[in-house]
């Protein structure tokens, strides 16, 4: 299937050419555009035999420090290759990558928010086909199947580390009420009922924002039943039960109404106040939770009745630009700096992400940390994202429905009906395919 029309509009008129040139100049002047070093946006190289790889990324804080360290080590071992990290705004990342295809200046390497970006970027022709590289890669046996993100049997994106959801609990509160850490949603509901009855603490802090984040937190309530975005219409009862559970948490005051607008950071701040028994959040908080002034523990995301604990894999995918002239060097960087067991251990210790490479996942570094263990286990059996260009629209629809139920704007029944119809419409708009 050809995704792009062969007749791409050309800049015919002088006025448009001048306008485009001025626009580009002004964008560069404002500092909004992604900047590259002298002529090395792709196919970079100098007369001295040095290859410059341009790497677009949006990491912050510990993740950025980790990546800078990997680049430094790689450059020390490969003096003829320089990696130029280019920082971009996460909100505008997709647009810039899509635009780079039109101008033939895709970066050599880039990361992407795999949860929402992959279908868009793959369909937009941003990503190079990595199949030949991956097939010839000797280390691939150490990675689970869900490391590779494929379309039509071709590998376009790699997910060497993952971010997953799990449950943090306040040990002090659970011990006070004689409650064991719950493993199922029913146990969790019963625990919160008991805690709320005493009137001293709240139940759970989670993100219910009307966005991808709210959907990401809500989906594990039905994923473990084999229900996902692709078959929601045939599993209306499971979705309805999940919405009714959230509505019950809300009506019992186990879940505050304010959660309807909380993003993951806001819900984490709430859990860290010590007023909540549970916090549903990700492994990237493993470093932050050490600052809690209460005893804490972690478990996998509680399983729905009759199902298993299962969450969607999140995190950053790594891709090579379709227009890159340095694909071999870019692949070398990925295999020597990103896919190694050492890189896997270091991203856990430095940034809290969970490596999927088997040696790193089995290392003492991870296994000796009991709080990391539930996330490591979750990484071995994650749910599959729908393969549809409208995945973001599907998640948005579910997020809006969850937020509506938590806030009381809509009932569980109405939210179920609306979510299913909107998600189905998005699925059809994205070609109808899903699994």
CB 168 within 8 A of CB 299: no
As measured in angstroms, the least distance from the Cβ of 61 to another protein is: 18
As measured in angstroms, the least distance from the Cβ of 386 to another protein is: 14
As measured in angstroms, the least distance from the Cβ of 410 to another protein is: 6
Which lies closer to another protein via its Cβ, residue 118 or residue 375?
Answer: 118
What's the rounded Cα separation, in Å, for the pair 234 and 238? Answer: 9
As given in the structure block, the two tokens for residue 203 are: 């139940």
As measured in angstroms, the least distance from the Cβ of 403 to another protein is: 4
As given in the structure block, the two tokens for residue 269 are: 């701040």
As measured in angstroms, the least distance from the Cβ of 104 to another protein is: 11
Which lies closer to another protein via its Cβ, residue 91 or residue 138?
Answer: 91
As given in the structure block, the two tokens for residue 68 are: 């800078």
As measured in angstroms, the least distance from the Cβ of 321 to another protein is: 14
As given in the structure block, the two tokens for residue 381 are: 């059996």
3-state DSSP assignment of residue 260: helix
Listed in sequence order, the residues at least 6 apart from 323 whose beta carbon sits closer than 8 Å to its beta carbon are: 42, 100, 101, 104, 105, 106
As measured in angstroms, the least distance from the Cβ of 46 to another protein is: 30
Question: Contact positions toward another protein, by CB under 8 A?
Answer: 3-5, 7-9, 15-16, 18-20, 22-23, 26, 91, 94-95, 98-99, 101-102, 119-120, 123-125, 208-212, 256-261, 263, 389-390, 392-393, 396, 400-401, 403-410, 426, 429
Which lies closer to another protein via its Cβ, residue 262 or residue 284?
Answer: 262
As measured in angstroms, the least distance from the Cβ of 327 to another protein is: 20
Which lies closer to another protein via its Cβ, residue 67 or residue 232?
Answer: 232
Which lies closer to another protein via its Cβ, residue 259 or residue 286?
Answer: 259
Backbone angles phi, psi at 40, to 5 degrees: -120, 30
What's the rounded Cα separation, in Å, for the pair 52 and 83? Answer: 6
CA 182 to chain centre: 25
Which lies closer to another protein via its Cβ, residue 120 or residue 221?
Answer: 120
As measured in angstroms, the least distance from the Cβ of 254 to another protein is: 15
3-state DSSP assignment of residue 88: coil
Which lies closer to another protein via its Cβ, residue 192 or residue 260?
Answer: 260
Which lies closer to another protein via its Cβ, residue 98 or residue 373?
Answer: 98
Which lies closer to another protein via its Cβ, residue 120 or residue 324?
Answer: 120
Residues 236, 227, 115, 264: what is their CA dihedral angle, to the nearest 10 degrees? 70
Tokens 């990391």 map to which residue? 372
Helical (H) or strand (E) element with 170: strand 165-170
Whole-angstrom CA distances from 12 to 20, 22, 239 are 11, 16, 52
3-state DSSP assignment of residue 105: coil
Tokens 């449950």 map to which residue? 167
What's the rounded Cα separation, in Å, for the pair 171 and 161? Answer: 28
What's the rounded Cα separation, in Å, for the pair 263 and 256? Answer: 13
């Amino acid at each position: 299937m050809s995704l792009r029309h062969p007749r791409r509009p050309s800049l015919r008129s002088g006025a448009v050419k001048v306008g485009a040139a001025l626009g580009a100049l002004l964008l560069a002047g404002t500092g909004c555009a992604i900047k590259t070093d002298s002529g090395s946006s792709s196919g970079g190289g100098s007369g001295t035999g040095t290859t410059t790889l341009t790497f677009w990324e949006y990491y912050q804080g510990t993740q950025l420090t980790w990546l800078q360290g990997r680049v430094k080590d790689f450059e020390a071992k490969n003096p003829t290759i320089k990696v130029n990290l280019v920082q971009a705004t996460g909100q505008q990342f997709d647009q810039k990558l899509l635009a780079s295809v039109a101008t033939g200046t895709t970066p050599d390497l880039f990361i992407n928010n795999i949860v929402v970006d992959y279908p868009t970027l793959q369909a937009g022709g941003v990503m190079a086909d990595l199949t030949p590289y991956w097939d010839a890669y000797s280390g691939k046996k150490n990675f689970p199947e869900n490391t590779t993100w494929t379309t039509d049997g071709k590998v376009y994106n790699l997910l060497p580390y993952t971010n997953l959801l799990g449950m943090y609990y306040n040990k002090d509160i659970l011990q006070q009420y004689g409650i064991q850490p719950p493993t199922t949603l029913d146990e969790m509901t019963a625990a919160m009922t008991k805690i709320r009855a005493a009137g001293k603490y709240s139940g759970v802090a989670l993100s219910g924002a009307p966005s991808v984040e709210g959907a990401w937190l809500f989906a594990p309530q039905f994923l473990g039943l084999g229900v996902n975005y692709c078959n929601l219409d045939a599993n209306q009862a499971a979705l309805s039960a999940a919405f009714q559970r959230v509505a019950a948490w809300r009506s019992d005051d186990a879940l505050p109404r304010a959660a309807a607008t909380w993003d993951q950071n806001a819900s984490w701040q709430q859990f860290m106040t010590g007023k909540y028994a549970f916090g549903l959040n990700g492994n990237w908080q493993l470093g932050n939770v050490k600052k809690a002034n209460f005893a804490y523990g972690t478990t996998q995301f509680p399983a729905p009745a009759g199902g298993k604990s299962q969450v969607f894999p999140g995190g950053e995918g790594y891709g090579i630009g379709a227009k890159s002239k340095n694909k071999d060097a870019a692949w070398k960087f990925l295999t020597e700096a990103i896919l190694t067991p050492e890189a896997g251990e270091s991203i856990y210790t430095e940034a809290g992400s969970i490596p999927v490479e088997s040696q790193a996942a089995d290392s003492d570094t991870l296994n000796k940390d009991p709080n990391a263990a539930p996330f490591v286990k979750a990484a071995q059996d994650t749910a599959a994202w729908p393969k549809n260009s409208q995945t973001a629209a599907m998640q948005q629809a579910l997020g809006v429905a969850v937020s509506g139920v938590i806030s009381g704007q809509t009932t569980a029944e109405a939210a179920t009906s609306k979510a299913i119809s909107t998600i189905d419409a998005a699925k059809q708009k994205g070609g109808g395919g899903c699994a």
